[in-house]
Structure 1
Amino acid sequence: MDYLGEAIALAIDSIILGACVKYYLRSKHAMTMIQGAPILDLDKNLSEIVNTHPDKRLSYVSLRGTIKPIGNPIISNNNPKVEGVIQLLSIKEHIVQRSTAGFWSDHERTIQEVHNVMPFVIESKGYQVEIVDPLAADVLDMDVISDIFHPTVPSVMDHIWGFFAGLRQRGIQTTERMLRKGTRITGIGELVASEDGKTLKLQPPQNGAPFYLTTMQVPSLVKKLEDSKRSYRLLCIIFGTIGVVIGGLMVRRYWKNRCKKLDEERRRKLLEVSRKERRRRMRDEELPEFQLCVVCKDNPKEIILLPCGHVALCEDCAEGIGDLCPVCRSHIEKKSAAYLA
């Protein structure tokens, strides 16, 4: 309990530091993979390149082409002129909530989220590569088609109820995002060929490397990841330094408390020795036998045993007597100094 505050702060700092290290390593790994991925052109040679590799598979490549749906495209709900291959419809509720400290703050929660996906390919110069499982992409750039906020007009009763409940609704936000037909994107992932070698597919890599479907070109994506890596590295340094400082304060406090306890123990022992020596010098050497300790028969009786009440031991012998009185063999609950007049 002496270090509870420091321990909680150190635990929170360790969790944040762990998350920062995780994202830093992820950004660094993604940069290394992307920089090492060959940039291939969508042309007649691409199929030959894939088919000549073992298992007809390239573990990590970068392709750039234009999106073309396989079949009828998805029509936007809010703009009939917009067509695409992936549609994300989300409904979010915006509320103002009172915290335990009594402050009101804005929050949002997702009420509903719907994905509509149409099979599609990326095309260039008449050559195509099918995209497999696009929703698994680590980065999936989509355009915002509509973003509408419907404010709530509360009544008097809503205000009263919200005050006592600590919850007020601000409104509902509906958002539509789409990956449009004709958008030029960069796909980075695993490129595989079908069994007949005629169809090529770009899919999430089996080795756990990141999968990207982005409108950015490779240099721009690398620069974005570099900025992200730099930010997480700075956060790692900051929270790592905080953790070292907190740990150092805990060690310093522990060392000071330990030194204090050792010093108090040393002083206690010195006082104990001094007290025993002083009492030994003050003892009367010519005491009658009934006033002598029943154990050593040398020192006077100085300790009363409770609850039996027998005064039978000197201070030195009392330290070696455990649970039973040497006179009546009853259980000893307490030992106290006895002063005989």
Structure 2
Amino acid sequence: MDFLSEIIGEAVVLSIDSLILGFCVKQLSKCKHILNALQTAPVLDIDNNLKKEIQKYPNHVIPYVVVRGLVKPLGNPITSNYNQSVTGVIQRLTIKEHVIARTSAGFWSDQTRTIHEACNSTPFVLTDGKYSIEVVDALAAELLDLDVISDKFEPMSPGVIDHVWGFFSGVRQRGLQTMEEMLRDGSYITAIGELSRNNSGLKIQPPRDGLPLYLTTATKSSLLKRLASSRDLLRVFLVLFGAVAVIASGRIAHKYIKRRRRRVAEEHLKKQLAAGRKERRAQNRDRNLHDVQLCVVCTDNPKEIILLPCGHVCLCEDCSENIQDTCPVCRERIQSRAPAFIA
């Protein structure tokens, strides 16, 4: 049996586990990087001292900083589609389809998929009333806390034909969910990102070194706890999938060693059998032979092997094992050989 077919199960498990393990390592490295950066990020107030503080950094840029303030639009805010009294600076409209789908095991389960999502935004700043910081590219924030303004579910009323079609297709419609979320005007949020200063004023934006921009209602300490919890969970996954990788690799190594030992034992047995046959052949050979009947190489043993395709019977079995390329008589390439019996 081919060795690959013996380890196909372990190889599949190891391949999938390696992909998951690589993803966990990447996420853990990213989480540690963000955690270390957030721990050292200064927490600054939006006041007159902020301009003085930013002058201490090269090019008037603080790579990662935590600031808190009130959301205020620069210009006209966005008005909610479902509540005209609510205004904001970021709006997310989502339409989700709810279905009951039949799984491969034959069970029916609730499933949801997003069929449409749209985001609108308007320029805004974080302010304490007198001083302000403009938020740049807010939609690129990795964590963006929005308030749910409206969440409506419209159930579908399927007919008989829909029930029959759903039974055969394996999908039954439940209804559509329409949700509107907004970052409200006047919300008090925490912004974490790169703070810079130019001629137009102070701006906070996604950092250039790959760190995430956060726009959240959470504080720095709660974010640190959340990241530490994610880091610990990733470590558990790393240990778990690492153990699976070690077990799968150990089984592959065990099967390889077992197969190698079996092949070594078979080779040893084959050599023992060959030595026994050689000894019995040597005892049964006729020693009273003419020169024309002797092997052309050793001139001691009788001719026992015919070489093909040339057809020369010129070697004993012992010498045939050492001559693999060409016939010693005509120099034609040897393709095969067979025992010859000379009366």
Moved more, 54-63 or 144-153: 144-153
Deviation string, structure 1 residues 150-203 (Cα, Å, up to 9, x no partner): 33333343344444444443332222111112211111111112216xx21111
Q: Deviations over 1:179-228 (max 9, x none)?
A: 112211111111112216xx211111122222111100111111111111
For structure 2, the 5+ residue unaligned runs are: none
Using the TM superposition, name which of 35-44 and 95-104 deviates more: 95-104
Matches within 5 A, 1:158-177: 158-177=162-181
Q: CA deviation at 1:339?
A: 4.8
Q: Could you tell which deviates more after superposition, 36-45 or 117-126?
A: 117-126
State how far apart, in whole Å, the 2-side matches of 1:164 and 1:299 are.
81
What is aligned with 2:97?
93
Residues 253 and 86 (structure 1 numbering): CA distance in 2 closer, same or farther, change over 3 Å? Answer: same
- CA distance in 1 between counterparts of 2:195 and 2:327 reads 89
Deviation at 1:50, TM superposition (A): 2.3
Q: Aligned with 2:125: secondary structure?
A: strand
- Partners of 1:12 and 1:139 in 2: how far apart? 29
| Secondary structure of the structure 2 residue equivalent to 1:87 | strand
Q: Which residue matches 1:277?
A: 279
1:254 to 253, 256, 268: 256
Rounded Cα–Cα distance in structure 2 between residues aligned with 1:109 and 1:61: 36
- Do the aligned partners of residues 295 and 194 (structure 1) sit closer, same or farther apart at CA in structure 2, a change above 3 Å counting? closer
Q: Is the 8 A contact 1:94 1:107 kept in 2?
A: yes
Contact 1:307 1:332 in 2 (8 A): yes
When normalised by structure 1's length, the TM-score is 0.88
Residues 163 and 310 of structure 1: CA distance in aligned 2, closer, same or farther (over 3 Å): farther
Closer/same/farther in 2, CA of residues 115 and 294 from structure 1, 3 Å limit: same
Q: Residue 239 of structure 2 is aligned with which of 237, 240, 249?
A: 237
Whole-angstrom CA distance in 2 between matches of 1:122 and 1:16: 40
- Following TM superposition, by how much is the alpha carbon of 1:118 offset from its aligned partner in structure 2, in angstroms? 1.4
C-alpha change, 1:310 and 1:156, in structure 2 (3 Å) is farther
Question: Structure 2: how far apart are the matches of 1:306 and 1:190?
Answer: 81
Q: Contact 1:40 / 1:61 at 8 angstroms: preserved in 2?
A: yes
Does residue 17 (structure 1) correspond to residue 21 (structure 2)? The answer is yes
What is the deviation of 1:83?
1.7
Q: Following TM superposition, by how much is the alpha carbon of 1:4 offset from its aligned partner in structure 2, in angstroms?
A: 2.7
The residue type paired with residue 192 of structure 2 is I
One-letter amino acid of the counterpart of residue 211, structure 1: L
8 A Cα contact 1:204 1:211, kept in partner: yes
TM-fit CA distance, 1:144: 1.9
Q: 1:34 aligns with which of 14, 19, 38?
A: 38
Superposed, 1:1-341 pairs within 5 Å as 1=4, 2-51=6-55, 53-98=57-102, 105-195=109-199, 199-289=201-291, 291-305=293-307, 311-322=313-324, 333-339=335-341
| 2: CA distance, partners of 1:291 / 1:173 | 97
For residues 10 and 190 of structure 1, what CA distance do their matches in structure 2 show? 41
Cα separation, 1, equivalents of 2:18 and 2:294: 64
The alignment covers a number of residue pairs equal to: 339
Unaligned runs of 5+ in 1: none
Contact 1:43 1:125 in 2 (8 A): no
Q: 1:294 to 1:93 in 2, by over 3 A?
A: same
The 1-side partners of 2:328 and 2:277 are apart by 25
Shift of 1:22: 1.4
**Identical-pair percentage:** 52
Q: CA-atom RMSD, angstroms?
A: 2.7
- Structure 2 distance, partners of 1:236, 1:320, is 55
C-alpha distance in structure 2 between counterparts of 1:300 and 1:212, whole Å: 91
- In the TM superposition, residue 276 of structure 1 has moved relative to its aligned partner by 0.9
Q: Give the Cα–Cα distance (whole angstroms) in 1 for the partners of residues 70 and 253 of structure 2.
A: 60
Per the TM alignment, residue 124 of structure 1 is displaced from its structure 2 partner at its CA by 1.4
- Aligned-pair CA distance for 1:311: 4.7
Amino acid at match of 1:287: L
Instruction: Say whether the 8 Å CA contact 1:42–1:125 is kept in structure 2.
Output: no
